[in-house]
C-alpha cells in the first residue's frame, strides 16, 4: 500500500489513500470515507476539496503560477494566438500548421448564426443583460443543431460551432441593442479582428482595425481561457455530469460567470472606479472603508480566492493596459485612479498582510473600456475567452473512466421529526 493518512474515529482506525499530482500536489482520497466510517466532510465553498483529476490547467496560488497543458500562460500570451491556445486546451497539444489551418477553416465555416435566432434576440427587452441573453441563446443552439453527441466528428464540430457562434452572437446582441444592422463575419479576418469588426463596423463609418487592439483582445482571451476548477468551470462539470448536451453545460457556465464575485468582477471594477471619480477622485475614503471590518464595502479587483501572490495574469494585463492607452494616445482618468489604488495597496500593511494584490480584473476592465466595449458587455467578453476551457473541462469529464454524477452531501440542521398539523388546528 502507498502513502496514506490514518483517521481514528469511534475506536476504529481507517487508512485513507494519499494521491499525488504531477506537480507534487497531495490530496486525501476520501471516496470510501462514508462507507467505512459513516462520516462525511464539511467544506463550505469547496476550498479544500478536489473534485476530479485533470490534465488541463495547473495553477499554484502561493507562487503565482498558471500553465495550460504545462505551458506557462506568460509564454502563450507572448507567442500564441487565442485560436491556437483554444486548440491546445481542447486537444491537449499545440497544433501543427495543417491542424491549425483546418481548425481555423472550421471556425470560419461555422461562424454564421441561423437567421431565425435573430427574431429571438429582437424579442428580449432592451434592458436585458447580455449575459442572460447569451446563456439562453447558447442553450437554444441545441434546437437549431440537434446532431447526436455520440460520434467524435460531430462532437468536434459542436465544440467548434460553439467557439465560433458565441463570438458572433455576442456581437449580434450588441448591434441589436443599439438598433444597428448586424455585421457578418469575414473570412479574411482573424478570430479577434472579426469580433471587433462585427462590433464596431457600420455602413456610414467603416471600422479601422488597430493591430494593437487586436493583439490586446488576443491576450485578454488567452489569459481568461481556463483557470482550473473555478465557479463556472465547476458548474459546467456538475451540469455535464448529468450527461446533458454541451450547449446546456456551457449555458450553465455562462450563468455562473455572471456573478460579480466571478466573471462580473471586471465590470464591477469600472463601476467602482467611476464611483470614486464621481466622489471627487480621492481614494483614501474608499481605502478606509475597505479596511473597516464593520463596513460591507470592498475594493473590487483586489485579492483572489486562490492567488496568495501577485496574479500572473495581472502582470501581463497591466503591461497591455499601458500599451493600449499609449497607442491610442488616450488619457483615461479612471486609469489614474486605478494606479493610485494599486500604489497604496502594494504598500499598505493591511493589503500586504491579507494578500490583497491587484488581480487581472483590475486591469482588464480598463483595456476593454479603451477598446470601446460597453461595460455591460465585459462579462460576455470573459465568457468568450473562457469557452475553450469550459469545452476542454466538459470533454475531459465525459472521457473520464471514473465519471460519477455529481451529488454532494449535506449536514441537516432543520427540525427533527414533526407530526403534520391539520389546517383547522393551526
The arithmetic mean of pLDDT across residues 263-290, rounded, is: 89
Position 155 pLDDT exceeds 80: no
On whether both 45 and 109 belong to a single domain, the answer is no
Q: Are residues 122 and 230 in the same domain?
A: yes
Mean pLDDT lowest among 135-149, 157-171, 178-192, 404-418: 135-149
Question: If residue 312 lies in a helix (H) or strand (E), which one and from where to where?
Answer: helix 312-328
Return the active site residues.
304, 361
Residue 422: pLDDT over 90: yes
Q: Rounded distance, CA 382 to CA 170, Å?
A: 11
Is the pLDDT score of 34 beyond 60?
A: yes
pLDDT at 14: 92
Give pLDDT tens digits for 207-255. 999 999 999 999 999 999 999 999 999 999 999 999 998 999 999 999 9
pLDDT at 154: 64
Domain-embedded: residue 84? yes
Give the closest residue to 228 by CA, choosing from 425, 15, 46.
Answer: 46
Cell numbers representing residue 230 in the block: 473555478
Note the pLDDT of residue 356: 84
Question: Could you identify the residue written with the cell 466528428?
Answer: 153
Residue 401 reports pLDDT greater than 80: yes
List of residues 6+ apart from 74 with CB closer than 8 A: 312, 316
Share of the chain above pLDDT 70, in %: 98
Residue 149: pLDDT band with limits 50, 70, 90:
low
**Above 60 in pLDDT, residue 186?**
yes
On whether both 130 and 243 belong to a single domain, the answer is yes
What average pLDDT score do residues 30-57 get? 93
What is the mean predicted confidence (pLDDT) over 59-88?
Answer: 96
Q: Name the range with the highest mean pLDDT among 114-123, 143-152, 219-228, 353-362.
A: 219-228
pLDDT at position 148 is 54
DSSP 198-248: HHH--SSS-----HHHHHHHHHHHHHTS--SS-HHHHHHHHHHTTT--HHH
Verify that 323 and 249 share a domain, yes or no.
yes
- What's the average model confidence in pLDDT over 375-379? 91
Mark which of 46, 65, 84 sits at the end of a domain: 65
Domain annotation covers residue 406: no
CATH of the domain at 20: 2.20.28
> Same domain for 125 and 194?
yes
Contacts with 343 (C-beta within 8 Å, 6 or more apart), sequence order: none
- Dihedral of CA 180/181/183/184: which sign? positive
Is 385 within 8 Å of 286 (Cβ atoms)?
no
Name the average pLDDT for the chain. Answer: 90
- Bridge-partner residues for 60, per DSSP? 65
Task: Say what the pLDDT of residue 228 is.
Answer: 94
Do 252 and 345 reside in the same domain of the chain?
yes
Same domain, 139 and 202: yes
Question: Are 224 and 305 in the same domain?
Answer: yes
Both 181 and 54 in one domain: the answer is: no
Task: Count structural domains, the chain.
Answer: 2
236 and 329 co-located in one domain: yes
What pTM was computed for the model?
Answer: 0.91
Find the mean pLDDT for residues 386-405.
94
pLDDT > 90? residue 58: yes
List residues bridging with 20 in a β-sheet: 26
Which of 41, 65, 89 is a domain's end point? Answer: 65
Whether residue 328 is found in the same domain as residue 250: yes
In a domain, 416, yes or no: no
State the residue for C-alpha cell 501577485.
310
Last residue of a domain, one of 37, 65, 93: 65
Query: How far is it, in rounded angstroms, from Cα 193 to Cα 218?
Result: 9
- Residue at 423 is within a domain: no
Q: Grid coordinates standing for 79? A: 507567442
CA 106 from centre of chain: 24
pLDDT digits (tens, 9 = 90+) for 316-343: 998 998 899 888 887 778 878 888 888 8
| Same-domain pairing of 34 and 169 | no
pLDDT digits over 79-125, tens only? 999 999 999 999 999 999 999 999 999 999 999 888 888 788 778 88
pLDDT at residue 353 is higher than 90: no
CA distance 327 to 337: 20
Separation of alpha carbons 85 and 100, rounded Å: 10
Taking the CA atoms of the chain, what radius of gyration do you get in angstroms? Answer: 24
Quickly state the pLDDT bin for 150 (edges 50, 70, 90): low
Confidence of residue 363 (pLDDT cuts 50, 70, 90): confident
Residues sharing a CB contact under 8 Å with residue 167, sequence separation 6 or more, in sequence order: 111, 185, 191, 194, 195, 198, 384
Backbone angles phi, psi at 23, to 5 degrees: -100, 15
Instruction: Let me know if residue 425 belongs to a domain.
Output: no
* Grid cell 444592422 in the structure block, residue: 181
Which range, 146-160, 276-290, 325-339, 406-420, is most confident? Answer: 406-420
Contact status, residue 95 vs residue 87, Cβ threshold 8 Å: yes
* 56: containing domain: 4-65
How many CB atoms are located within 10 Å of the residue 376 CB? 16
Question: Does 2 have pLDDT greater than 80?
Answer: no
The mean pLDDT of 191-216, rounded to a whole number, is 94
The pLDDT of 131-160, averaged and rounded, is 80
pLDDT bin (cut points 50, 70, 90) of residue 304 is: confident
Of 260, 182, 187, 210, the closest CA to residue 372 belongs to 210
CATH number at residue 292: 1.10.580.10
Amino acid at each position: 500500500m502507498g502513502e496514506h493518512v490514518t483517521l481514528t474515529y469511534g475506536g476504529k482506525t481507517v487508512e485513507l489513500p494519499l494521491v499525488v499530482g504531477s506537480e507534487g500536489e497531495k490530496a486525501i482520497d476520501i471516496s470510501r470515507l462514508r462507507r467505512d466510517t459513516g462520516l462525511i466532510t464539511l467544506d463550505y465553498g469547496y476550498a479544500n476539496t478536489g473534485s476530479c483529476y485533470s490534465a488541463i490547467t495547473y495553477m499554484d496560488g502561493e507562487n503565482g503560477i498558471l500553465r495550460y497543458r504545462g505551458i506557462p500562460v506568460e509564454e502563450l500570451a507572448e507567442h500564441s494566438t487565442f485560436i491556437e491556445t483554444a486548440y491546445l486546451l481542447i486537444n491537449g497539444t499545440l497544433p501543427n500548421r495543417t491542424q491549425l489551418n483546418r481548425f481555423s477553416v472550421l471556425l470560419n465555416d461555422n461562424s454564421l448564426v441561423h437567421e431565425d435566432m435573430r427574431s429571438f434576440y429582437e424579442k428580449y427587452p432592451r434592458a436585458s443583460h447580455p449575459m442572460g441573453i447569451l446563456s439562453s441563446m447558447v442553450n437554444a443552439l441545441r434546437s437549431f443543431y440537434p446532431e447526436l453527441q455520440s460520434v467524435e466528428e460531430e462532437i468536434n464540430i459542436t465544440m467548434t460551432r460553439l467557439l465560433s457562434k458565441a463570438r458572433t452572437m455576442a456581437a449580434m446582441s450588441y448591434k441589436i441593442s443599439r438598433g444597428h444592422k448586424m455585421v457578418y463575419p469575414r473570412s479574411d479576418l482573424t478570430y479577434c479582428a472579426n469580433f471587433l469588426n462585427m462590433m464596431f463596423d457600420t455602413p456610414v463609418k467603416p471600422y479601422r482595425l488597430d493591430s494593437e487592439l487586436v493583439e490586446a483582445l488576443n491576450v485578454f482571451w488567452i489569459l481568461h481561457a481556463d483557470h482550473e476548477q473555478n465557479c463556472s468551470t465547476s458548474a459546467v462539470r456538475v451540469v455535464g455530469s448529468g450527461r446533458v448536451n454541451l450547449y446546456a453545460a456551457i449555458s450553465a457556465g455562462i450563468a455562473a460567470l455572471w456573478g460579480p464575485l466571478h466573471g462580473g468582477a471586471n465590470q464591477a471594477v469600472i463601476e467602482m472606479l467611476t464611483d470614486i471619480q464621481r466622489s471627487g477622485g480621492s481614494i483614501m475614503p474608499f481605502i478606509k472603508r475597505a479596511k473597516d471590518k464593520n463596513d460591507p464595502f470592498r475594493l473590487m479587483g483586489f485579492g483572489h480566492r486562490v492567488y496568495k501572490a501577485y496574479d500572473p495574469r495581472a502582470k501581463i494585463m497591466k503591461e497591455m493596459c499601458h500599451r493600449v492607452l499609449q497607442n491610442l494616445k488616450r488619457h483615461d482618468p479612471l486609469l489614474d485612479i486605478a494606479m493610485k489604488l494599486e500604489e497604496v495597496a502594494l504598500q499598505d500593511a493591511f493589503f500586504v498582510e491579507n494578500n490583497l494584490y491587484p488581480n487581472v480584473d483590475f486591469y482588464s476592465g480598463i483595456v476593454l473600456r479603451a477598446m470601446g466595449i460597453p461595460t455591460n458587455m465585459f462579462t460576455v467578453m470573459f465568457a468568450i475567452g473562457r469557452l475553450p476551457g469550459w469545452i476542454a473541462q466538459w470533454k475531459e469529464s465525459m472521457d473520464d473512466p471514473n465519471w460519477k454524477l455529481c451529488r454532494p452531501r449535506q449536514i441537516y440542521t432543520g427540525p427533527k421529526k414533526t407530526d403534520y398539523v391539520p389546517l383547522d388546528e393551526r
